[in-house]
Amino acid sequence: MSDNFHNSKRIANNTTLLYFRMLVVMGINLYSVRLLLNALGIEDYGIYDVIAGVITVLSSVSSVLQTATMRFYSYSLGQNNKQRLQNIFSTSIYIYILLSFIVLILGETVGLWFVNTQLVIPDERMNAANWIYQFSIFSFISVIMQVPFSSAVIAHEDMGIFAKVSIAESLLKLIAILLILIIPFDKLIIYGAFLFLITTLVLITYIRIGNTKYAECRYKKPTEKKLFKELLSFSGWSLFGSIAGVGMSQINTILVNIFFGPVINASRAIARQINMALSSFTASFLMAIKPQMIKSYAEGSYSYLNKIFNISNKLIYYILLMVCIPLMFEMDDILLFWLKTAAPESVLFSRLILVYAIIMALNNPISIIIQATGHIKEYHVPVETFTLLCVPATYLLFKLGYPAYTTYIAMIIAAIASHIVRLIVLKKYYNPFSFTEYIQSFLLRAFVITLLSSFSVYIVHDSITNILLRVTAVVFISISSVAFFVLFIGLSKSEKEIVKQLISNIKRK
């Protein structure tokens, strides 16, 4: 019991650090989008999104690779196997060097051909497009090579270090945008160069931290072939899962460019920024609980693991609900305040992405347990099949003449189908999971709380005409109504006690 209390306290402390990091990073990033849109203009911003959009989704690819590597670190830490830690580090370095080489070869052949022959880009901007494409490839490689070092930081639960590096990275990106406003050169090219420089500096920082703080972060020629196969298989299937999600997003972005042009791409880019901001809410909490969930599985503490799983599902959903309800009702005014523009496509895309984001957020606790079990292939193959079906569905809809927003409808349907498959796979490989408990204690109550809270906000939204007063009231009612209904019907008695403990620990921290 004392160990579980100590672990819960550590989760609370790490959650505090990561939420502080999230608030700072998200604030900087959202302000940066406004500056970048004004600096580049709507057309160049659309070109940047379709070509260098890989930079904006690097976080999801690196996050999955990070989780895969961290799983092996955390599992070994849970078993107190320090010798295996160095083997894991050296093997992961070797694997990611191979992956970087593959990315470089494909990027400079197939990718280069596609950019120059298939995308809809004005002739006078092709040179800038090629430059930023090259910077994107090498930025991607820099982020991949960060993974073995950043995974060690997270596995050791040194969230303060992770938070500081993340905040510094966001500040550097903000400075880069401010600099392109005054540098008398092509702003799109200069911005791509700055992003590559920043990712390289972050890589060097993580290498230095790993070499000085963690004994296992010393490269030695890998000799354990079994570990190489295990890590390659785990990372490979995790990467497949990430590529499926990123590929769906990026290929759909390309399809929007081909059928509707770079201006509509800019509206899609704005929606994606909102999606990334929402993901930061859940990512901060998940990063705090991941090591404990994996270690609990390695130790066989399934009862404690189930408690973390149940409470994390609810906290993720209800925290996002507090944010998404006011965004859904006030999206046009919020975009106007944020970006000084609120095109109808941007408003509609952004509202639809809210639904998609909240569904996808619920997948994360499931994925963590599956990663702990090691059944990655059996998980990703059926799940990502539905994810990838979104691409041909989008192409068919566009070919039949449907508008650009229908790609989000396809994404939402694919997300729902893949979530059902995730639950089925979870039950197959983690027997303590209960469908009945998940539906009765979480899904049904979440549905009721969503309806009641949304109705409460609708009444306020429909009765106030002053914009500032209405937005303020909508945000207040959204947070207070969700909190009230969650405490009244959303949580069990034991979960209420856990939440009280976490809040108490966070206040003391």
At 342-373, the pLDDT tens digits run 778 888 888 999 999 888 888 888 888 887 88
Backbone angles phi, psi at 65, to 5 degrees: -60, -40
Query: What total of structural domains would you count in the chain?
Result: 1
Reduced to 3 states, what is the DSSP secondary structure of residue 86? helix
pLDDT confidence tier of residue 85, bands split at 50, 70 and 90: confident
- The Cα 409–Cα 393 span in angstroms is 10
Burial 206-241 (b: 16+ CB within 10 A, else e): beebbeeebebbeeeebeeeebbeebbebbbbbbbb
Q: When comparing pLDDT for 155 and 257, which is higher?
A: 257
Least confident of 124-128, 202-206, 502-506: 502-506
Q: Which of 258, 507, 491, 242 is nearest to 364 (CA)?
A: 242
Chain mean position to CA 278: 8
- pLDDT at position 1 is 44
Work out the average pLDDT over 174-192.
83
- pLDDT at position 365 is 85
- The Cα 273–Cα 271 span in angstroms is 5
Chain mean position to CA 261: 26
Chain mean position to CA 177: 23
Contact 268, 255 (CB under 8 A): no
Q: What is the CA radius of gyration of the chain?
A: 23
Contact 259, 404 (CB under 8 A): yes
Beta carbons within 8 Å of 444's beta carbon, 6+ residues apart: none
Does position 159 have pLDDT exceeding 80, yes or no?
no
Alpha helix locations (H) across 261-301? Answer: 262-299
**DSSP type of residue 431:** T
**pTM attached to this predicted model:** 0.67
- pLDDT at position 475 is 87
Q: How open is the CA angle 69-24-478, to the nearest 5 degrees?
A: 100
Number of Cβ atoms within 10 Å of the Cβ of 200 = 17
- pLDDT at position 507 is 55
- The Cα 503–Cα 166 span in angstroms is 24
Does position 14 have pLDDT exceeding 60, yes or no?
no
- The Cα 84–Cα 500 span in angstroms is 38
Number of Cβ atoms within 10 Å of the Cβ of 299 = 14
Reduced to 3 states, what is the DSSP secondary structure of residue 181? coil
Does position 74 have pLDDT exceeding 70, yes or no?
no
Does position 58 have pLDDT exceeding 60, yes or no?
no
pLDDT single digits (tens) 387-440? 888 888 889 999 998 998 898 999 899 889 989 999 999 998 888 888 888 898
Average pLDDT, the chain: 79
- The Cα 283–Cα 364 span in angstroms is 9
Q: When comparing pLDDT for 486 and 387, which is higher?
A: 486
Contact 374, 318 (CB under 8 A): no
Does position 116 have pLDDT exceeding 70, yes or no?
yes
- pLDDT at position 263 is 73
Q: Which of 282, 343, 344 is nearest to 313 (CA)?
A: 282
pLDDT single digits (tens) 323-339? 889 889 988 888 887 77
pLDDT confidence tier of residue 111, bands split at 50, 70 and 90: confident
Domain boundaries, position 318: 2-508
Contact 305, 387 (CB under 8 A): no
- pLDDT at position 336 is 82
pLDDT single digits (tens) 444-458? 999 999 999 999 999
Alpha helix locations (H) across 156-224? Answer: 159-180, 187-213
Contact 211, 218 (CB under 8 A): yes
- The Cα 174–Cα 25 span in angstroms is 10
Q: Which two tokens stand for residue 497?
A: 């006690």
- First and final CA of the chain: distance in angstroms? 22
Written as one string, the DSSP assignment of 43-111 is: HHHHHHHHHHHHHHTHHHHHHHHHHHHHHHHHHHHHTT-HHHHHHHHHHHHHHHHHHHHHHHHHIIIII
- pLDDT at position 454 is 93
Work out the average pLDDT over 244-250.
67
